[in-house]
């Protein structure tokens, strides 16, 4: 009897200690009925798991006893980990996963759980609008802007109306590269899943339907600004504002940055330049114009196609601008990087053939002329795999956009079947490289934890989904789902990376945003930069933690994430990253539509 008591005592002690050092991570929203469904166990103790339970949240009854457990050993500061697979359980409902007295947060299973997902990113996009801002019911940056950095040296100091577009992040700079990519991503999302996007707001972003899906209103807002940034076939601007905007947190309508023309007045407009730019201590490494002009062209082409029903005259203008931008890009190969200011940070884009490949692909779709398909194939063969895929690291935005949509467009066309097969293989090769890098990792994460790792994650998810759509090959469904789940809470920190989603979940609340810090405004729908290598976090200028780290016990020497407004490297929402969610969230929402 005494021995039994001692055994029981030590069992209780072990269970208590175990529960304080172990966690189960899940997708906080939940899983589609036929999803691959995997929770991840992590522990500061060296333990091996053999089974787990799935428990009904309402009744507390065990509904499934799982034995499909893959122990994955040490993972990023944890002494043991395991993948807990309950894919075969498909009954809709609300559940949690349990091992002994450790349990996950509750989640749902059902095909309707992402019904509102397609509207989430658009909430943040509207809030990022420059010019008239529907969230604030006020206007900002209404004097933009005055030209600088003309490579020809002839047009500096001129005023051009470049009011509009979106703020890139929380510092109110604006770039053609990220804007054009955001426009393209939203237009593409609508082209694939038009029925999932509603009409609740007008063209200005104010409440009230206008007969046009909100995602197209948002895309046109971006296109209107791109047209202003390309006023004629010889004038292409690359960037509005620089880090003189970094004057501390302010609401955009109250910002008083001074670019030499008075506080709150005009900001600088940089030309697309084939030569290094930078007005102050640092310069970029620009070599050409094709990276930016290719992005102009592809967004204009797809915009012309999709908006023709609603804006026929505007559509015709976009068609011509697409051709002009493409021809100028072909004549000026190379990259036009964004311009640094007083700090050494800029978007270090080093590839451009992917931009011209997509531009040519879209022109082939628009015109039916085979020369554009030939161009697209030739550009695409110069970069079969986007270089970050499978790499350990990269510089900031070095390989941008993070997904090569031109590969998909070539793979999807049926004029040249041989090229289609070739570019499907290219897509697969990129996915496989990331999967190889994820080998043995509990979260199946092979993404390099560079600045804006969440954007790379979204790009990877998109490529997996498009590959599956093209081929029906289910090889990569598990890693696709794992990376989706990563963004929604199945990660070491147990947090969603999307502000306000799920509404009652764990998500970023202390973001690097003036809206949050100064006014407590919700910035629902914005995806934050995401986890970063500890070594990068430790090397960035002006970065610190303003509060105690609520995720301290989940950090490691390898990777960190902080829900802290002072950490601009992991907790700042980005406009382009958010726009890149629209395709996959449209896909998720489509499952609910199928059951309507």
Give the model confidence (pLDDT) of 271-293 as tens digits.
999 999 999 989 999 999 999 99
126 and 74 belong to one structural domain: no
Q: Which of the 8 DSSP states describes residue 568? A: T
The whole-number pLDDT of residue 171 equals 86
Residue 302 lies in a domain: yes
pLDDT surpasses 70 at 206: yes
In a domain, 556, yes or no: no
Q: Are 210 and 250 contained in the same domain? A: yes
Work out the pLDDT band at 16, boundaries 50, 70, 90.
Answer: very low
Per-residue pLDDT tens for 468-480?
999 999 999 999 9
62 Cβ contact partners less than 8 Å away, ≥ 6 residues apart: 53, 54, 55, 56
Domain co-membership, 228 together with 339: yes
Flag whether 581 is in a domain.
yes
Residue 120's pLDDT is 97
Domain boundary among 109, 126, 154: 109
Query: What pLDDT sits at residue 152?
Result: 85
**In angstroms, how far apart are the furthest CA atoms of the chain?**
95
Residue 443 contacts residue 484 (beta carbons within 8 Å)? no
**Residues 430 and 446 both lie in one domain:** yes
Q: What is the CATH number of the domain that holds 251?
A: 1.50.10.10
Same domain for 140 and 98: no
Which CATH number characterizes residue 74's domain? 2.60.40.10
Q: Note whether 66 and 121 are same-domain residues.
A: no
Per-residue pLDDT band for 2 (boundaries 50, 70, 90) equals: very low
The pTM assigned to this predicted structure is: 0.95
Q: How confident is the model at residue 153 (pLDDT cuts 50, 70, 90)?
A: confident
Q: Which of 63, 84, 109 is the last residue of a domain?
A: 109
pLDDT of amino acid 351: 97
Q: Count the Cβ atoms, other than its own, within 10 Å of residue 351.
A: 19
Please give the mean pLDDT across all residues of the chain. Answer: 94
pLDDT-derived band at 20 (thresholds 50, 70, 90) equals: confident
pLDDT > 90: percent of the chain: 92
Phi/psi of residue 509, nearest 5 degrees: -120, -25
Q: Are 402 and 365 in contact (CB under 8 A)?
A: no
Say if 558 falls within a structural domain: no
100 with 208, same domain? no
Mean pLDDT confidence for 423-436:
98
Give the residue, 540 or 414, on which the prediction is more confident.
Answer: 414
Confidence check: pLDDT of 1 > 60: no
C-beta separation of 142 from 132 below 8 A: no
Please indicate, yes or no, whether residues 96 and 123 belong to a single structural domain of this protein: no
Task: Answer yes or no: do 93 and 127 share one domain.
Answer: no
Q: Judge whether 542 lies within some domain.
A: no
Q: Is the pLDDT of residue 10 over 70?
A: no
* Residue 458 is assigned to a structural domain of this protein: yes
- What is the model's pLDDT at position 208? 97
Q: Which of 101, 110, 238 minimizes the C-alpha distance to 168? A: 238
Q: Which residues contact 359 (CB under 8 A, 6 or more apart)?
A: 293, 294, 295, 297, 298, 301, 322, 325, 326, 329, 406
Q: Which helix (H) or strand (E) holds 532?
A: strand 532-533
- Same domain flag for 192 and 124: yes
Judge whether 511 lies within some domain. Answer: no
For residue 78, the enclosing domain spans 2-109
Q: In this structure, are 103 and 25 located in the same domain?
A: yes
What is the model's pLDDT at position 540?
Answer: 86
- Please state the rounded mean pLDDT for residues 435-457: 97
Q: What is the pLDDT of residue 166?
A: 98
Residues 127 and 98 in one domain: no
Give domain status of residue 551, yes or no: no
Q: What is the pLDDT averaged over residues 63-78?
A: 97
Q: How confident is the model at residue 542 (pLDDT cuts 50, 70, 90)?
A: confident
End-to-end CA distance of the chain: 62
pLDDT at 9 > cutoff 80: no
Q: How many domains would you assign to the chain?
A: 2
Domain boundary among 89, 109, 129: 109
């Amino acid at each position: 009897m005494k021995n039994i008591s001692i055994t029981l005592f030590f069992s209780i002690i072990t269970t208590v200690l175990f529960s304080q050092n172990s966690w189960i991570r899940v997708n906080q929203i939940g899983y589609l009925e036929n999803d691959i469904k995997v929770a991840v166990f992590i522990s500061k103790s060296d333990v091996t798991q053999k089974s787990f339970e799935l428990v009904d949240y309402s009744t507390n009854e065990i509904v499934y006893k799982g034995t499909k457990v893959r122990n994955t050993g040490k993972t990023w500061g944890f002494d043991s980990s395991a993948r807990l697979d309950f894919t075969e359980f498909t009954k809709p409902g609300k559940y949690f996963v349990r091992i002994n007295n450790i349990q996950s947060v509750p989640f749902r299973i059902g095909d309707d759980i992402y019904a509102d997902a397609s509207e989430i990113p658009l909430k943040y996009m509207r809030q990022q609008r420059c010019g008239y801002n529907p969230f604030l019911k006020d206007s900002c940056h209404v004097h933009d802007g005055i030209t600088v950095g003309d490579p020809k040296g002839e047009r500096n100091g001129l005023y051009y109306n470049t009011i509009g577009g979106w703020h890139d992040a929380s510092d109110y700079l604006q770039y053609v590269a990220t804007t054009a990519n955001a426009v393209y991503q939203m237009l593409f999302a609508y082209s694939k899943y038009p029925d999932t996007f509603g009409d609740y707001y007008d063209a200005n972003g104010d409440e009230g339907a206008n007969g046009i899906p909100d995602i197209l209103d948002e895309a046109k807002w971006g296109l209107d600004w791109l047209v202003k940034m390309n006023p004629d076939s010889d004038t292409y601007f690359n960037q509005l504002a620089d880090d003189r905007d970094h004057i501390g947190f302010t609401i955009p309508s109250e910002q008083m940055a001074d670019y030499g023309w008075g506080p709150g007045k005009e900001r600088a407009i940089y030309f697309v330049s084939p030569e290094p730019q930078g007005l102050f201590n640092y310069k970029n490494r620009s070599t050409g114009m094709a990276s930016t002009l290719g992005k102009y062209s592809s967004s204009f082409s797809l915009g012309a196609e999709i908006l023709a029903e609603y804006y026929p005259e505007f559509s015709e203008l976009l068609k011509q601008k697409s051709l002009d931008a493409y021809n100028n890009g072909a004549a000026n190969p190379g990259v036009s990087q964004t311009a640094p200011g007083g700090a050494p940070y800029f978007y270090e884009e080093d590839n451009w053939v992917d931009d011209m490949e997509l531009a040519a692909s879209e022109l082939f779709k628009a015109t039916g002329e085979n020369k554009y398909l030939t161009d697209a194939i030739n550009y695409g063969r110069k970069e079969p795999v986007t270089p970050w895929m499978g790499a350990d690291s990269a510089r900031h935005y070095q390989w941008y956009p993070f997904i090569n949509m031109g590969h998909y467009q070539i793979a999807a066309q049926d004029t040249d079947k041989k090229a289609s097969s070739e570019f499907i293989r290219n897509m697969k090769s990129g996915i496989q490289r990331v999967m190889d890098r994820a080998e043995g990792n509990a979260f199946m994460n092979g993404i390099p934890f560079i600045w804006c790792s969440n954007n790379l994650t979204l790009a990877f998810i998109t490529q997996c989904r498009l590959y599956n759509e093209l081929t029906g090959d289910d090889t990569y469904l598990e890693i696709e789902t794992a990376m989706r789940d990563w963004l929604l809470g199945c990660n070491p920190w147990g947090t969603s990376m999307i502000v306000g989603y799920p509404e009652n979940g764990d998500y970023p609340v202390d973001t690097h945003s003036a809206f949050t810090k100064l006014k407590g405004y919700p910035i629902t729908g914005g995806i934050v930069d995401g986890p970063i290598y500890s070594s990068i976090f430790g090397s960035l200028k002006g970065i610190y933690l303003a509060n105690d780290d609520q995720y301290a016990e989940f950090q490691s020497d390898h990777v960190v994430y902080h829900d802290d407004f002072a950490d601009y490297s992991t907790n700042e929402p980005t406009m382009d990253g958010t726009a890149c969610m629209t395709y996959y969230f449209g896909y998720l929402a489509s499952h609910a539509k199928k059951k309507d």
